[in-house]
Amino acid sequence: MAVAVDKFDLLFDEIVRQFTSFSEAFAIVGAIYTTHKTFNIIHGCYRAIYVYGAPRLRGRPNLVSRYGRWALVTGCTDGIGKSYAQELASYGMNIILISRSSDKLLKCSEDLERQFGIETLTVTADFSQGRAIYTMIEQEIKDKEIGILVNNVGVMYYPENLHEMNMDRIFQLINVNVTAATVMSRIVLPQMVERGSGAIVNLSAATSIRPSPQLAVYTATKTYLDYLAQALQYEYADKGITVQSLMPCFVATKTSQYGGDVQSPGYFIPSASLYAKSALQTLGVTSRTTGYWPHQLQFYIVEMLPKSVWLWCTNIVNSAIKRKIKAGQQKKK
């Protein structure tokens, strides 16, 4: 009987020793994980202060001397593009405006010249037409010293499954969201390389960091813009050229409206003018940002979410939006 008790005691002691060893191992892993997360939080806070706080303390830079006399903005007659053009003009830059509506272009041009006393050039072009328009654009802007290119033009669509989408809409998304930024960058880069200065800004979207069910094509095109900017920044940084990926969350513009309702500006959903002012201050400071610090906070939260949770949440939200739109269309009928 004593032998059995001794064996049990030995077994129990061995289990305790093993458990202690496992506890120590788990404690080490936990300490490493906690340290890693703490470092990420501290680094994130530092980056937020550096990107969004420091530029305000340094004051307004001289964009003309840093990049050149002219800025080119695509999709410039509404929303972020229009506000970004106004911000650039407030720094004394001349603006080339490219959009498909000649009437809106004319009004935007007149407003900028009257308000800021700068020169403008308007080019009417529909980017959904694909390759055919770029020879004309290149001819129109060939004599201009373009210091900043803002690839803002883009289209969105109401949530749909891929098999429900109109084929024309798919080609429009690719031609406008993907081809335009790629080809416009190709057009202006040679002169930037020759001068050894310039900046290209791609308007991507915060949702591009995760797939979005029922907005698959849209988020894929925005991911393309983000990756294009990152790769070009690596290619051209040593040539004095800045390439920035802007990844905003929701901004109160017509592009982000659903069911005919434009969202009201708020703290986390800024107006286009507030967003553009904040975003422009990050140019030359960071190559990849949301452009607006409350959006950066949202970006960090989305990054921490498990992919499965993100997919589930976005699918529910997009399905609800889809039902709302269909209900609205039925009421009109």
The C-alpha atoms of residue 299 and residue 226 are separated, in whole angstroms, by: 14
Measured CA to CA, the distance from residue 306 to residue 77 in angstroms comes to 38
Cα 211 from chain centroid (whole Å)? 14
**Interatomic CA distance for residues 266 and 263, integer angstroms:** 9
Token pair for residue 288? 């990849």
Q: Which of 91, 218, 236, 275 is catalytic?
A: 218
From the number of C-beta atoms within 10 Å of its C-beta (0-12, 13-18, 19+), residue 249 rates as buried
DSSP state, 264?
A: P
Long-range contacts of 258-263 (CB under 8 A, 24+ apart): 258/158, 258/321, 258/324, 258/325, 259/321, 259/324, 259/325, 259/328, 260/328
Is 218 one of the catalytic residues? Answer: yes
Residues 189, 197: Cα–Cα separation, whole Å: 10
- The CA R_g of the chain, rounded to the nearest whole Å, is 26
Taking the C-alpha atoms of residue 11 and residue 176, their distance in angstroms, rounded to an integer, is: 71
The Cα 270–Cα 292 span in angstroms is 9
Helix (H, G, I), strand (E, B) or coil at 266: coil
Contacts of 18 (CB under 8 A, 6+ apart): none
Q: Count of H helices and E strands in the chain?
A: 12, 7
Two tokens, residue 252: 């109160």
Active site residues: 218
